[in-house]
A and B are shown apart, each in its own frame.
Chain A
Amino acid sequence: QKEVEQDPGPLSVPEGAIVSLNCTYSNSAFQYFMWYRQYSRKGPELLMYTYSSGNKEDGRFTAQVDKSSKYISLFIRDSQPSDSATYLCAMSGDQGAQKLVFGQGTRLTINP
């Protein structure tokens, strides 16, 4: 079983919809929780990070971490066609080198 599980989708929603992306994990040592956006044939781009539990908001994006349930979410409000991409959750501990453990990625399409 993978340390980080993410529904690969694909997920297709109309423009303006609220999108919810989720990941679950099994390693209690994870302390940093990141969301990356990856366009086709490009490198992952860091969108947001959260340390430990809680919420973080940045414009139309909100990241939530619930460590008690080992569950993280990314919400996208007022979704735009330019948000169409693969979204990867990633996690790391807070000791030593911070290698990232990724989820499988969710392929999201926003339809105009």
Chain B
Amino acid sequence: AAGVIQSPRHLIKEKRETATLKCYPIPRHDTVYWYQQGPGQDPQFLISFYEKMQSDKGSIPDRFSAQQFSDYHSELNMSSLELGDSALYFCASSPGFGSYEQYFGPGTRLTVT
């Protein structure tokens, strides 16, 4: 079965650079969630989209922005990167707004040096 695809899988950036993370949800899933998982920590919700509109926002820094496109893929844009942004970034897709089911991608490991 098709799974959530995230790219790139690994990314190394320097402080103050920008990064773009991409997420391709499972086909026919219209809801996307972004989570950040720091080393040894639980995933923290960042932002979600339903039908290309932002549906909820969590602890996402103002330096980060995201959007969902017409083909339902989503991109997380991160600017002015800081050392503390180093983490695993997961995207999860869901078959519908309000569904409990979230299927996670393999994550993008971002390292900021």
- Chain A: residues with CB nearer than 8 A to chain B? 6, 32, 34, 36, 41-46, 49, 51, 88, 92, 94-105
Known: A43-B4, A43-B107. A98 touches B102 (CB 8 A): yes
The 5 nearest A-B residue pairs measured at CB: A43-B104, A102-B42, A97-B56, A97-B55, A32-B100
The reply to whether A105 and B101 contact each other, CB–CB distance below 8 Å, is: no
Contact with A along B70-113 (1 / 0, CB 8 A): 00000000000000000000101010011111111111010000
Q: Report how many A-B pairs have Cβ atoms within 8 Å.
A: 66
Shortest CB-to-CB span from B76 to chain A, Å, is 15
Asked if residues B98 and A100 are in contact (CB atoms below 8 Å), the reply is no
Please state if A99 and B4 are interface contacts (CB–CB under 8 Å): no
21 contacts between A and B (CB under 8 A): A32-B100, A41-B107, A43-B90, A44-B104, A45-B104, A46-B101, A46-B102, A51-B100, A95-B98, A96-B55, A96-B98, A97-B50, A97-B55, A98-B99, A98-B102, A99-B45, A99-B56, A99-B58, A100-B33, A103-B42, A105-B42
B contact residues around A102 at 8 Å (CB):
42-44
With A99-B33, A105-B42 given, can you name 17 additional A-B contacts, CB distance below 8 Å?
A6-B42, A41-B109, A42-B106, A43-B4, A43-B104, A45-B104, A46-B101, A97-B31, A97-B98, A98-B99, A99-B56, A99-B58, A100-B33, A100-B43, A100-B102, A102-B42, A104-B42
Once bound together, how far apart are the Cα atoms of A89 and B61, in whole Å? 25
Bits for B43-78, please: 1 = Cβ < 8 Å to A, else 0.
Answer: 111001010000110100000000000000000000
Q: Does the CB pair B42–A96 fall under 8 Å?
A: no
For the complex, what is the distance from the CA of A105 to the CA of B103, rounded to whole Å?
17
Chain A residues, Cβ within 8 Å of B94: 98
